Amino acid sequence: MSELSKFLVAFGAVATLAGCSHPSIPAGYTGPTATIKDSVKPDGDSKADFFYVASIDGRTIEESRGKTIRANAGHASGMEVQLVERAVPARPLQLEIVGRTHHASPIVSAASREYRIKGVIRFSPEPNKTYVVRGTLSEHYSGVWLEDEASGAVASDKVEVNGSAALNVLER
């Protein structure tokens, strides 16, 4: 099987699994909440760097990159970004946060440089506050973190890589 064939099989499996998510608020939770928004840095009409929460307390949740992939399935090369924001319990949480390059076209993705950084952080959101997942992706440094939306201040630990966070073809 060629590298491209392996990539296309893996991409299809990921796209299928991307639809399996849990609510961001556990069933039965009645306490205070906060909001966490994903963010994106577009680079033209067909490439963007996504920064998002992938899971809360080990439960996979809906996130912007997956929602964008599903919304744009079958489109040739353009990408209409679908940003997600979600209510979360205002209590200590374990969040998997991710920064990830995405190209609208799988063929362009296979031939281009893409980056990913991800990690798990402990975070205690304050009730009624809004946070935004922010980050940067590059060949020399990549990081992802949460910011307080109102002040722009870093509100969480950072997940960082000094050096390249480039993905190989099979990781895309």
Chain-centroid distance of CA 104 in Å reads 15
Between CA 152 and CA 164 the distance in angstroms is 26
Nearest-Å Rg of the Cα atoms of the chain is: 16
Which of helix, strand or coil describes residue 62?
coil
Between CA 18 and CA 14 the distance in angstroms is 6
Calculate the average pLDDT of the chain: 88
Label residue 9 by pLDDT band (50, 70, 90). very low
pLDDT of residue 2: 52
pTM for the predicted model, two decimal places: 0.84
> Residue 6 above 50 pLDDT?
no
In the chain, the percentage of residues whose pLDDT exceeds 90 is: 67
130-153: pLDDT as tens digits: 999 999 999 999 999 999 999 999
